[in-house]
Amino acid sequence: GNSVTQMEGPVTLSEEAFLTINCTYTATGYPSLFWYVQYPGEGLQLLLKATKADDKGSNKGFEATYRKETTSFHLEKGSVQVSDSAVYFCALSEASSYKLIFGSGTRLLVRP
């Protein structure tokens, strides 16, 4: 079946450090890929998405590239801020499906 695997956290970084959160997936066909973010005490928000191979999603300084050859969608940011502290979820959705399959989440803690 379809699944998403992301690196375990917590990931602890100093402000202005480079961030990578790894995400790999297993799917039949050509899924769309997403990163959602959950700030403390809130629901999830869509951070970025990519709907086909080699697409790059980007938002708020974060970016991720849909790599079909390695079935990956790693999240990166060049310089993290304390306000980026949150839980990040990688997710996929099969073509024309209304369901999302989430990874287990990675907690990011950025220290001043």
Partner 1 sequence: EADIYQTPRYLVIGTGKKITLECSQTMGHDKMYWYQQDPGMELHLIHYSYGVNSTEKGDLSSESTVSRIRTEHFPLTLESARPSHTSQYLCASSDRPHEQYFGPGTRLTVT
Footprint of partner 1 (CB under 8 A): 32, 34, 36, 38, 41-46, 49, 51, 87, 89, 93, 95-100, 102, 104-105, 107
Cβ of residue 16: shortest distance to partner 1, in angstroms? 26
Q: Is the peptide bond before 10 cis (omega within 30 degrees of 0)?
A: yes
CA distance 83 to 48: 17
Residue type present at position 27: A
Using DSSP bridges, classify how beta strands 19-21 and 75-77 pair: parallel, antiparallel or unpaired: antiparallel
Of residues 34 and 73, the one with the C-beta less far from partner 1: 34
SS3 label, residue 12 = strand
Cβ of residue 56: shortest distance to partner 1, in angstroms? 17
Of residues 78 and 95, the one with the C-beta less far from partner 1: 95
Cβ of residue 60: shortest distance to partner 1, in angstroms? 15
